[in-house]
Amino acid sequence: MSEPLQFVFDVSGENFTSAGEASVTVKKNLRMLGFAPDIIRRVAIAMYEGEINMVIHAGGGVATVTVFPDRIEMVLDDRGPGIADIELAMREGFSTAPDNIRNLGFGAGMGLPNMKRNTDSMKIESELGKGTKITMTVNT
């Protein structure tokens, strides 16, 4: 049995302009692997929202995407400030994004709920002052 295919990305937290580069690459790779468009889109949206979050809130992090025979798994791991109240963070419209991010068209408080909506499972592990790890899967 061969090892599952894995892509690892160092998501830079330095500039908002480059946010999304990992998601674009994942999308291209999944397209080359021949996945159905709706699967690719769900993975791309969840990953992009997560990537944007890592850049806005956590100063970047590491994104690992693994292609298993039955699912695609995305793990977004950062060393940011952590999420104080996960239940509150999951509420549509709740956001702690600063105004400069809202001016760029993000920070409407739709990211985490949208990640959940586009995936088949989503687990958030977060510790204040340590960081946040989000694991999402899309069944294929």
Q: For the purposes of burial, counting CB atoms within 10 Å of the CB of 43, is it exposed (0-12), middle (13-18) or buried (19 or more)?
A: buried
Q: How far is the CB of 130 from other proteins (least distance, A)?
A: 26
| Binding residues vs other proteins (CB under 8 A) | 16-17, 19-20, 23-24, 27, 37, 41, 44-45, 48-49, 52, 104-111, 113-114, 117
Q: How far is the CB of 118 from other proteins (least distance, A)?
A: 9
Smaller CB distance to other proteins: residue 25 or 125?
25
CB neighbour list of residue 98: distance below 8 Å, 6 or more residues apart? 107
Smaller CB distance to other proteins: residue 37 or 129?
37
Q: How far is the CB of 103 from other proteins (least distance, A)?
A: 9
Q: How far is the CB of 3 from other proteins (least distance, A)?
A: 28
